[in-house]
């Protein structure tokens, strides 16, 4: 089945091809072979002959994700960090990289490691300060601008189109971590980004049983070919079983994401003025400083991610997580089950994340049960 003319909900539900062309199977097969035979002329029967270069299960998942993001090509990796570090390998030695000062801590730590090794020059900007990104980018010297939107775990919103203009004017590329929007509500490539990244572990899979990352490109440039080569040389493609599980999760992506978004907006509004909270951080609230940008570039819900700033500080915020009965105190996000996490405990004392921040990944449970659980946890402070 061609993706031409299909709406994204159909692309996700069918993973592009609802029926296997060879067998007629409605569920796509898992190709587990590590090697593939050559024909009588010693030419590989597939476009690749070894699983480290790819296989049919991997390609089908990649094609579906590329179609969802309106990209020309996608590459799946064995983890989100494998995808990120491979992209960063294409930054020339000593080149300049710009990124937010608060973002997913794994990315921030890796960028700082590269800076400490003298591998890159790094500028971190404050997303909430007007003009900060523009001031950080150096015309003719910046190679890569990396942004998240919304930002994990403060959920600040960055204008992707404006960031793309700034990056391109400086001769840099823009890469967008769009994990929190799940390829449902924002399409960074259409807004000018060059590469979009997802931790596919999160919303794309949605069932907390796959570790995966994906990069999608707007154009298949020389840099993109380098990324593909590096994935093969490093040995980081996603394994066939995980590709199958990812596609199985993607079939319900839009249903899951919309339910989580609806739940999150209800919860955010319910607790916005709670006496035990300093603030609710959620871009769907009209009071959020990035709400106007979110309305413009998040076209199908504001997502299931939010954070609470708990009155009382570090210990009280951690206590909220341990008092929860329905919401699970665990790392990760984007699954069908709701999770809560005290980020400072996870990231450590050097983290710029506020001591009193509790990150909540809202799932698809009945929203009244989630509200009651959060209410009883806060009541115990």
Each as own residue / partner, the long-range contacts of residues 123-131 (CB below 8 Å, 24 or more positions apart, any chain) are 123/96, 123/97, 123/98, 123/99, 124/98, 124/99, 124/100, 125/98, 125/99, 125/100, 125/101, 126/100, 126/101, 127/100, 127/101, 127/102, 127/151, 127/156, 127/158, 128/156, 128/289
Answer yes or no: do 193 and 317 share one domain. Answer: no
Residues 353-376 have pLDDT tens digits of 999 999 999 999 999 999 999 999
Angle CA 302–245–251, to nearest 5? 50
- Domain contains 64: yes
Catalytic residues: 52, 104, 177, 202
* Domain, as residue range, for 348: 254-379
- Domain contains 3: no
Domain count, the chain: 2
Answer yes or no: do 231 and 362 share one domain. Answer: no
Query: In the structure, what pLDDT confidence band is assigned to residue 16 with cuts at 50, 70 and 90?
Result: low
Domain containing 96 — which CATH number? 3.40.640.10
Answer yes or no: do 325 and 286 share one domain. Answer: yes
pLDDT score of 106:
95
Answer yes or no: do 21 and 149 share one domain. Answer: yes
Answer yes or no: do 98 and 234 share one domain. Answer: yes
- Asked if 51 and 35 count as a contact pair (C-beta separation under 8 A), the reply is yes
Answer yes or no: do 338 and 191 share one domain. Answer: no
- Domain contains 19: yes
Residues 181-238 have pLDDT tens digits of 999 999 999 999 999 999 999 999 999 999 999 999 999 999 999 999 999 999 999 9
Domain containing 278 — which CATH number? 3.90.1150.10
**71-89: average pLDDT:** 98
Task: Check residues 295 and 43 and name the one with the higher pLDDT.
Answer: 295
Answer yes or no: do 191 and 271 share one domain. Answer: no
Least confident of 14-18, 40-44, 309-313, 323-327: 14-18
Residues 83-116 have pLDDT tens digits of 999 999 999 999 999 999 999 999 999 999 999 9
Domain final residue pick, 250, 280, 297: 250
Answer yes or no: do 361 and 282 share one domain. Answer: yes
Answer yes or no: do 242 and 260 share one domain. Answer: no
Answer yes or no: do 225 and 268 share one domain. Answer: no
């Amino acid at each position: 089945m061609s993706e031409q003319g299909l709406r994204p909900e159909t692309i996700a539900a069918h993973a592009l091809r609802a029926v296997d062309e060879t067998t007629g199977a409605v569920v796509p097969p898992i190709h587990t072979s590590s090697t593939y035979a050559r024909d009588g002329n010693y030419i590989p029967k597939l476009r690749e002959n070894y699983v480290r270069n790819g296989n049919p299960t991997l390609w089908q998942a990649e094609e579906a994700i590329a179609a969802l993001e309106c990209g020309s090509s996608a590459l799946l990796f064995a983890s989100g960090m494998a995808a990120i570090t491979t992209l960063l390998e294409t930054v020339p030695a000593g080149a300049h990289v710009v990124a937010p000062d608060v973002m997913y801590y794994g990315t921030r730590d890796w960028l700082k490691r590269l800076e400490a090794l003298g591998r890159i020059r790094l500028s971190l900007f404050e997303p909430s300060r007007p003009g900060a990104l523009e001031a950080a980018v150096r015309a003719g010297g910046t190679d890569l601008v990396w942004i998240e939107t919304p930002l994990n775990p403060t959920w600040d919103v960055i204008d992707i189109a404006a960031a793309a203009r700034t990056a391109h004017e400086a001769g840099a590329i823009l890469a967008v971590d769009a994990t929190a929007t799940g390829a449902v509500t924002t399409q960074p490539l259409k807004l000018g980004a060059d590469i979009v990244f997802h931790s596919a572990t999160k919303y794309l899979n949605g069932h907390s049983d796959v570790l995966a990352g994906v990069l999608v490109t707007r154009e298949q440039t020389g840099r993109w070919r380098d990324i593909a080569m590096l994935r093969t040389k490093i040995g980081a493609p996603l394994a066939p079983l995980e590709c199958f599980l990812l596609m199985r999760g993607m079939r319900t992506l839009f249903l899951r994401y919309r339910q989580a978004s609806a739940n999150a907006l209800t919860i955010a509004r319910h607790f916005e003025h709670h006496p035990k909270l300093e603030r609710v951080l959620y871009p769907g609230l009209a009071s959020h400083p990035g709400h106007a940008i979110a309305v413009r570039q998040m076209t199908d819900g504001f997502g299931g991610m939010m954070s609470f700033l708990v009155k009382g500080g570090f210990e009280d915020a951690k206590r909220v997580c341990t008092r929860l009965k329905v919401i699970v105190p665990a790392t990760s996000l984007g699954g069908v089950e709701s999770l809560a996490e005290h980020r400072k405990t996870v990231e450590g004392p050097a983290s710029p994340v506020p001591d009193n921040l509790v990150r909540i990944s809202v799932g698809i449970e009945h929203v009244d049960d989630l509200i009651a659980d959060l209410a009883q946890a806060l009541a115990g402070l």
